[in-house]
Amino acid sequence: MKKHYVIFYSPGSFVAEETRKEIDSWSVPKAKAMAHGIKERHGATPYGFRFVTRERGGKDFDSKEVKRSGMYYFGGKIWTLAELKARNNSKDRTLIWNMETNNWSRVIENMNSWKWVQPLKKGDRVLSFKPRK
């Protein structure tokens, strides 16, 4: 048995809030449409999503993840470490430290509901997206 899911990520207090929904295929247009119905605590709406496929064999007690996509971000501003250093904003001090310490060359800043910054990794994509108000 094989099932596909889309996991939506929204800003949380300390970690991202997650909502997982079954989907018939790894369809970006379908996932984008589904995102408009997601609302988490404090009115947070998704900054992105990823697909996962879970599979269970006849003798397996539970399913296991067999495939995972990169992140799909719902728009946002991409910042490089050099750009953040050049803008010389004291509010970026912790972010710059995290980027240097973790060897992140780029981050994405999304403000669909609340400001959320994540490392932009290989295989991640930034989509054109307008959240419905």
69 and 8 assigned to the same domain: yes
Domain count, the chain: 2
87 and 63 assigned to the same domain: no
66 and 9 assigned to the same domain: yes
In a domain, 21, yes or no: yes
In a domain, 106, yes or no: yes
Q: Return per-residue pLDDT of the chain as tens, 133 residues.
A: 899 999 999 999 889 999 999 999 999 999 999 999 899 988 899 999 999 999 988 787 888 889 999 999 999 999 999 999 999 999 999 999 999 999 999 999 998 888 899 999 999 999 987 776 6
Domain, as residue range, for 91: 76-122
Task: Please give the single-letter amino acid code of residue 65.
Answer: E
104 and 43 assigned to the same domain: no
26 and 51 assigned to the same domain: yes
Q: How far is Cα 59 from Cα 17, in angstroms, rounded to an integer?
A: 33
68 and 81 assigned to the same domain: no
In a domain, 22, yes or no: yes
83 and 31 assigned to the same domain: no
In a domain, 130, yes or no: no
59 and 81 assigned to the same domain: no
